[in-house]
């Protein structure tokens, strides 16, 4: 196993070196060399995961003296399979996609180095190795996004990404310094063990080390996972090559969830920081979803979709569902990578023929022509409110008997209920000719998704966090006062139900088609269409930094 731990990240590095050395001889065949090594890396990662699932315990391998320590644990094993698998798919896709681009060999060198760096990051067993890998990911991503040097927008938005990542890097460096100085070790396993034994240790600034480190780690995760106010780089990197977009949205942007899971004890013993994760994640999820619906560019819409999903991932960490966040980032990485790789084909086909069948959904969404038949309103209201709750409750009781004794679990259940109820409510609004069949299909898909989510998340929890006592601490840390918790749930429920009723009333009375949108709606539309003016602020900051750098060059007479 120690051989596998070292071989998995070293193989892509070897591939990059070989491509660089033999690019003149191999020419276009360098892509097949790089892709073959990516496949071998994926197979080795699968073997490593299989050994972890069997329960084999390994200490990892130390490449250098006090640093260069690579872990072999469940988290690194499962993340390694995800990274290596997506990397192989991106490699295979890039063989033809990048064939007409300049710098063909250079692209595969960067792709191999990015894969190796990601694998080192998830397996890093000491803070210094983690910091080096974390920083190199931002540097390599800058070069990958700006691969086509003839596109000004690619370079511009690559700079935005680089700038945002540097903010997160500074926060991570400060967190590492605080933890290493307080507990006297750079080894991550030793550090987390000492945090569990002495969580109240004070840092050099006289504040709890875990609390200060958790705040800084959160900022690093927010920057890397595109949380609100640090998100603008993500949707604007679409001018980069599509394979880079797929790799970034399927692997790199998920690093925030990984970082929080790696330092889970720090967050568990840091007081109210988990509540901060929940709030930031919730705001990001809502804003990302809203901005996604306002885009007319498919890749930019996917970018904001990723922002919303990363918000849900951080929110799951905030309610103590750390393992669920890992499951979420894996599922999101796979389907979002596929969407990006297929976006070009969808655009090409749509330019010739939209290929949309004139079915009930098309009639409702595009032609705005509801059918004549409609199920009874009271019946659909009962189905909307009751059935999602019944499905969710039965699914979770089948997996874990004490599920509803945890606030975080109730919050996730609540969001599941909202999602299911919204789905059924939308079905009612469609006014299909065959409501029974459509409702049966919706409920069947909902049941399958819920059962899969409940079972798989439970398996992930047992695999990543087998210590039951630590799980209890995790759920306790994410809890709030029961009075305010009940107030929050009831208030949110009333707001959602009121929104549904308002929508129904507006459609029933024909007020949704009013020609006068009203001042409030116009202001809201302007803010959403301009993406809350954050892109303008980013552009302004970028111009100031570039002008300042130019003036410094002139003043210091640098050539």
Question: What span, in angstroms and rounded, lies between the C-alpha atoms of 393 and 387?
Answer: 10
How many CB atoms neighbour CB 395 within 10 A? Answer: 20
CB 438 within 8 A of CB 375: no
Question: What span, in angstroms and rounded, lies between the C-alpha atoms of 105 and 23?
Answer: 6
Question: How far, CA to CA in Å, does 108 sit from each of 15, 82, 146, 247, 352?
Answer: 9, 19, 14, 13, 32
**Maximum distance among all Cα pairs of the chain, rounded to whole angstroms:** 78
Question: What span, in angstroms and rounded, lies between the C-alpha atoms of 263 and 325?
Answer: 14
What is residue 201's predicted lDDT score, i.e. its pLDDT? 84
CB 40 within 8 A of CB 10: no
What is residue 505's predicted lDDT score, i.e. its pLDDT? 65
CB 122 within 8 A of CB 87: no
Residue written as token pair 């539309």:
525
In this predicted model, what pLDDT tens digit does every residue of 68-81 receive, in sequence order? 889 888 999 999 99
CB 124 within 8 A of CB 5: no
pLDDT in 10s for each residue of the chain, 559 residues: 677 888 999 999 999 999 999 888 888 889 999 999 999 999 999 999 998 888 776 667 777 666 788 988 899 999 999 999 999 999 999 999 888 888 899 999 999 999 999 999 999 999 999 999 999 999 999 999 988 877 877 888 888 888 889 999 999 999 999 999 999 899 999 999 999 888 888 776 778 889 999 999 999 999 999 998 888 888 888 778 889 988 887 678 999 999 999 999 999 998 789 989 988 998 898 888 888 878 877 888 888 889 988 998 998 888 888 888 898 889 888 888 888 888 777 777 666 665 555 555 555 445 545 545 555 655 656 666 666 666 656 655 555 555 444 545 555 555 655 565 555 556 555 555 566 666 666 666 666 666 666 677 778 888 888 888 888 888 778 776 666 666 766 776 677 667 666 666 665 665 555 555 567 667 777 788 888 888 888 778 878 888 898 888 888 876 5
Q: Report CA 93 to chain centroid distance, whole Å.
A: 22
How many CB atoms neighbour CB 156 within 10 A? Answer: 16
What is residue 255's predicted lDDT score, i.e. its pLDDT? 92
Look at the pTM and tell me if it is higher than 0.85. no
Residues paired with residue 202 on neighbouring β-strands, in sequence order:
208
CB 68 within 8 A of CB 62: yes
């Amino acid at each position: 196993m120690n051989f596998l731990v070292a071989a998995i990240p070293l193989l892509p590095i070897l591939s990059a070196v070989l491509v660089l050395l033999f690019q003149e001889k191999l020419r276009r065949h360098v892509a097949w060399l790089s892709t073959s090594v990516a496949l071998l890396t994926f197979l080795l990662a699968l073997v490593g995961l299989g050994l972890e699932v069997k329960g084999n315990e390994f200490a990892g391998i130390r490449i250098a003296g006090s640093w260069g320590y690579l872990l072999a644990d469940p988290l690194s094993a499962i993340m390694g399979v995800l990274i290596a698998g997506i990397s192989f798919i991106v490699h295979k896709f890039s063989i033809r996609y990048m064939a007409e681009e300049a710098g063909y060999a250079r692209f595969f060198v960067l792709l191999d180095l990015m894969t190796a760096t990601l694998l080192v990051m998830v397996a890093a067993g000491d803070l210094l190795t983690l910091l080096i890998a974390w920083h190199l990911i931002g540097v390599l991503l800058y070069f990958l996004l700006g691969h086509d040097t003839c596109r000004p927008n690619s370079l511009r938005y690559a700079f935005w990404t680089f700038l945002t990542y540097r903010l997160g890097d500074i926060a991570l460096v400060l967190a590492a310094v605080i933890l290493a100085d307080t507990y006297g070790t750079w080894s991550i396993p030793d550090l987390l063990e000492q945090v569990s034994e002495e969580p109240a240790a004070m840092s050099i600034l006289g504040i709890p080390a875990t609390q200060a480190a958790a705040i800084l780690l959160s900022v690093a995760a927010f920057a890397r996972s595109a949380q609100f106010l640090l998100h603008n780089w993500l949707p604007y990197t679409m001018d980069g090559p599509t394979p880079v977009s797929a790799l970034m949205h399927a692997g790199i942007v998920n690093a925030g969830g990984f970082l929080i899971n790696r330092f889970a004890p720090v967050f568990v013993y840091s007081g109210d920081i988990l509540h901060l994760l929940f709030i930031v994640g919730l705001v990001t999820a809502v804003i990302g979803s809203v901005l996604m619906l306002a885009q007319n560019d498919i890749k930019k819409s996917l970018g904001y979709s990723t922002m919303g999903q990363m918000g849900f991932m951080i929110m799951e960490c905030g309610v103590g569902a750390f393992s669920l966040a890992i499951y979420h980032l894996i599922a999101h990485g796979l389907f979002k990578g596929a969407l990006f790789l297929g976006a070009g084909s969808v655009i090409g086909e749509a330019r010739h023929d939209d290929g949309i069948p004139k079915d009930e959904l098309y009639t409702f969404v595009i032609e705005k022509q509801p059918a004549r038949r409609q199920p009874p309103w009271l019946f659909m209201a009962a189905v909307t409110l009751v059935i999602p709750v019944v499905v969710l409750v039965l699914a979770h009781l089948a997996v874990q008997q004490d599920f509803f004794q945890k606030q975080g679990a109730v919050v996730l259940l609540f969001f599941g209920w909202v999602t299911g109820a919204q789905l059924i409510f939308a079905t009612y609004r469609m006014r299909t000719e065959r409501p029974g069949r459509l409702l049966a299909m919706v409920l069947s898909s909902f049941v399958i998704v819920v059962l899969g989510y409940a079972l798989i998340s439970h398996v992930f929890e047992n695999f990543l966090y087998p210590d039951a006592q630590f799980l209890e601490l995790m759920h306790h840390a994410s809890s709030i006062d029961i009075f305010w918790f009940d107030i929050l749930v009831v208030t949110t429920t009333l707001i959602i139900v009121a929104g549904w009723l308002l929508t129904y009333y507006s459609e029933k009375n024909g007020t949704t088609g009013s020609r006068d949108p009203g001042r409030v709606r116009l202001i809201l539309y302007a803010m959403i269409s301009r993406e809350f003016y954050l892109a303008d602020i980013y552009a302004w900051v970028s111009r100031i930094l570039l002008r300042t750098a130019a003036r410094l060059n002139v003043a210091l007479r640098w050539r």
